[in-house]
């Protein structure tokens, strides 16, 4: 759009054309843009799904000797799949934030049904 002579968006001409890896704005949408707002909305939505997943683990799991609630992936998948088909992605996000623990990089339905997921 910067090179488009028919563009009337003045915001485009005031911003630098290229950013570099050391620049704090590198890989980020312009502040106040609709893209930035969509990213914030998506982040909020995923956060809510992670909270919901933790609640489901707490409600369906068993309290272990260490005091943590655990559930097998198979049991969680059967419970959670009726709510969302993104259970594996949400589990990975929850692990990234230190909310759950399980062995392995990825969980597969059928193959990993006996993997224990622990709510931290």
Structure tokens at 24: 């704090």
The pLDDT score that the predictor gives to residue 7 is 62
**CA-CA distance, 83 to 81, in Å (whole number)?**
5
Contact criterion met (CB below 8 Å) for 31 and 40:
no
Whole-model pTM over 0.95: no
46-77: buried (b, 16+ CB within 10 Å) or exposed (e) per residue?
A: eeebbeebbebbeeebeeeeeeebbbbbebbb
Residue ranges of the domains in the chain? 34-119
**CATH 1.10.10.1540, applies to 34-119:** yes
1-35 pLDDT per residue, tens = 556 666 666 555 555 556 778 888 888 888 898 99
């Amino acid at each position: 759009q910067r090179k488009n002579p028919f563009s009337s968006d003045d915001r485009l001409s005031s911003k630098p054309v290229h950013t570099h890896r050391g620049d704090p704005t590198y890989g980020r949408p312009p502040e106040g843009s609709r893209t930035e707002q969509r990213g914030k909305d998506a982040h909020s939505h995923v956060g809510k799904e992670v909270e919901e997943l933790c609640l489901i683990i707490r409600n369906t799991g068993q309290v272990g000797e260490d005091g943590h609630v655990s559930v097998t992936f198979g049991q969680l998948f059967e419970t959670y799949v009726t709510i969302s088909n993104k259970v594996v992605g949400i589990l990975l996000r929850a692990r990234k934030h230190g909310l759950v623990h399980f062995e392995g990089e990825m969980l597969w339905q059928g193959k990993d049904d006996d993997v224990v997921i622990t709510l931290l």
